[in-house]
Amino acid sequence: MMSLRRRELLALPAALAGIGTRAAEAPSSKVLRYAFRVAETGFDPPQLSDLYSRILTAHIYESLYTYDPLARPAKIVPLIAEAMPEVSDDFRTWTIRIKPGIFFADDPAFGGKPRELVAQDFVYSAQRYADPANKAQAWVQYEDAGLIGLNAQRQRALKDKKPFDYAAPLEGLRALDRYTLQFKTEESRPRLIQLILAGSDLYGAVAREVVEFYGDRLGEHPVGTGPFKLKSWRRSSQIVFERNPAYRERYYEAQPAADDAEGQALLARFKGRRLPMIDQVEVVIIEEPQPRWLAFLGGEQNFVERVPEDYISQAMPHGKLAPNLAKRGIQGFRTLAPDVMLTLFNLNDPVVGGLEPAKVALRRAIGLGLDVPRELQDVRRGQGIVAQSQVQPHTSGYDPAYKSEVGDYDPARAKALLDLYGYLDRDGDGWREQPDGSPLVLERRTQSDGQSRQVDEVWDRSMRALGIRLQLTVAQWPQNLKAAQAGNFMTWDVNFSASQPDSIGAMQLLYGPAAGTFNFPRFANARYDHIYQQMQSMPDGPERAALFREAKRIQAAWAPLKPRGHRIITDMAMPEVIGFRRPLFWQDWWQYVDIVAA
């Protein structure tokens, strides 16, 4: 385990030299500075599926609704909308009025004139996800919503090989007037507000003028109505945001639970304060954990998102803030995250793919033989719990009492499965071959950062114990993402964070029509797909909970992915950063913190 020694602190200036200089800032400006461990991929929401890019865009684009920053459990409140939706009794017609007087950030695309946000902007933005030319990663969300006519419009563009018709009228997605939107769905959608209306940059409005003005360079010029705007960008190096001077008057309002002392204290401090409370945010990319941690300790950063696990025992021993850090006024925040660590198998791959018994047995054996307890304890320093399914904590389908084979570490059973289905060492070299005698080599896509290397070591030790050769393909995370989207992988590890309190997003990971987007394994199972579709239209209750359990059992039986664990996330802030509370299902939080003089 890497430890922080005196000579490392003395060498701090050298360690920070390669991070990049701070962006110019006024002496009195309030600046939040922190680092991402993974590089961004861009700023155009339809093109995004990674968490870190969406943290950035969530502060630019605003959805109709958002989540109360303090409420636990999560509560949806109006953001762009004037009030909660008017909903028909059958949950198929949703009418929403947006607030007048909200403007996009100033941009050359508007020809020097203020540009007000109108209902049609939301219609256009949703259509961009349906447009096949955009290859939108989150199209499946809109497809699941079942807005009348939207998928048909998409299919016409695909069939006729013609540009998507943005002018065609849509019964399911209309601007009734300048400030009124109406959504109509083919089936009942009791949770439409969670699905496509709330808490996400993916459902924020973009102006058509901006899209047409920048064309292929749109991903470099995000323009929204949010509290921040992009100031400068050095790809995969540094991103600087500044307060959006055109941002409307918006004030800190929240409704924490009566017994939530932390939430009540934050509300008392900030209630009525205008948002955002800081002037600038500087994000740098530091993939290696050591320099990222040193940058925080040395004051180069005033916030560290997800303290590197290598340093958890020094930062929060036994879950409590270390005394030396407490003396400096450093704050620690520990949260069981609504996420899941997954190993994905490509079901189109000739080695691990397929649904025949031998291939299923191989995937299940790999899952049983993978030493997840070692990963959680040694690599992640106890910052996680074993996962029993792909459903994340804090979501509707999560049951802490649920137990399945998915959570087992049982190498003896794994070896027995491999023997039974013909994965044997035929030539005595210590490595198993496939049932047809060809070599058995497991390819794992991975990254070059220190934590990934440690996880690779767990994989190597686990697979050696099973007699399976492991081959690593090392690339940056964005390149691995592109490979997974193209189906060019055998196995790959990802972390999937919930974006809504409902667990349907976790089910989407294996939904057949989502193959190539959220369904990276390209799993297809008729019963699973039927369950998924049923759950969309059902109200919450025992019957829907039973379907969640059945879907989990299908995942465990066919093993298209291996859920490994749910992370415990530790964030830290210098004394001057006030008001942080880790979001659960949304990514925007910069506007809710303040920077005060020490």
pTM metric for this prediction: 0.81
pLDDT in the model for residue 478:
85
Please provide the DSSP assignment of 285-335 as one string. Answer: E--SHHHHHHHHHTTS-SEESS--GGGHHHHSGGGS--HHHHHTT-EEEEE
Alpha carbon distances (Å) from 339 to 331, 453, 487, 584: 23, 21, 23, 9
Architecture of the 45-226 domain: Alpha-Beta Complex (3.90)
Reported confidence tier of residue 281, pLDDT bands at 50, 70, 90: very high
Mean of pLDDT values over 27-40? 89
Reported confidence tier of residue 28, pLDDT bands at 50, 70, 90: low
- Give me the residues paired with residue 491 across strands: 345, 444
Tell me whether the omega of the peptide bond preceding residue 393 falls within 30 degrees of 0, making it cis.
no
Give dist(CA 419, CA 423) in Å, integer. 6
For 357: left if phi > 0, alpha if psi spans -120 to 50, otherwise beta; the answer is: alpha
Mean of pLDDT values over 210-215? 97
Residue 18 pLDDT exceeds 80: no
- Give me the residues paired with residue 240 across strands: 232, 282
Do the domains 27-40+242-335+570-595 and 339-568 sit in the same CATH topology, yes or no?
no
Q: What sections of 330-424 are H helices per DSSP?
A: 357-369, 372-374, 411-420
pLDDT in the model for residue 162:
94
Residue whose entry in the numeric block shows the structure tokens 């925080």: 296
Mean of pLDDT values over 211-219? 94
Contact (Cβ atoms closer than 8 angstroms) between residue 109 and residue 209 = yes
Residue 585 pLDDT exceeds 60: yes
Reported confidence tier of residue 450, pLDDT bands at 50, 70, 90: confident
Please provide the DSSP assignment of 78-129 as one string. Answer: ESSBSSSPEE-TTS-EEEEEBPTT-BPPP-GGGTTS--B--HHHHHHHHHHH
Roughly what angle, to the nearest 10 degrees, separates helices 289-297 and 450-466?
140
Domain spans, the chain: 27-40+242-335+570-595, 45-226, 339-568
Give dist(CA 388, CA 400) in Å, integer. 9
H/E run at residue 154: helix 150-160
Residue 335 pLDDT exceeds 60: yes
* Per-residue model confidence as pLDDT tens digits over 475-512: 998 899 999 999 999 999 999 988 889 999 899 999 99
pLDDT in the model for residue 2:
34
Residue whose entry in the numeric block shows the structure tokens 């440690």: 454
What's CA 370's distance to the chain center, in Å?
Answer: 24
Alpha carbon distances (Å) from 540 to 86, 233, 527, 543: 20, 43, 20, 8
Residue 15 pLDDT exceeds 80: no
Residue 117 pLDDT exceeds 70: yes
Residue 26 pLDDT exceeds 60: no
Residue 201 has a CB neighbour count (10 Å cut-off) of: 26
* Per-residue model confidence as pLDDT tens digits over 219-265: 999 999 999 999 999 999 999 999 999 999 999 999 999 999 999 99
**Cα 51-54-56 angle, rounded to 5 deg:** 120
Reply yes or no on domain 27-40+242-335+570-595 having CATH 3.30.300.180: no
Contact (Cβ atoms closer than 8 angstroms) between residue 91 and residue 108 = no
pLDDT in the model for residue 9:
35
Lowest-pLDDT range of 20-24, 40-44, 448-452: 20-24
Buried b (16+ CB within 10 A) or exposed e, 374-393: bbbebbbbebbebbbbbbbb
> How high is the mean pLDDT of the chain?
92
Give dist(CA 316, CA 301) in Å, integer. 18
Residue 309 pLDDT exceeds 60: yes
Mean of pLDDT values over 182-209? 93
Residue 150 pLDDT exceeds 80: yes
pLDDT in the model for residue 517:
81
Give dist(CA 521, CA 108) in Å, integer. 42
* Per-residue model confidence as pLDDT tens digits over 63-89: 999 999 999 889 999 999 999 999 999
Residue 27 pLDDT exceeds 90: no
Return the CATH fold of 339-568.
Dipeptide-binding Protein; domain 3 (3.10.105)
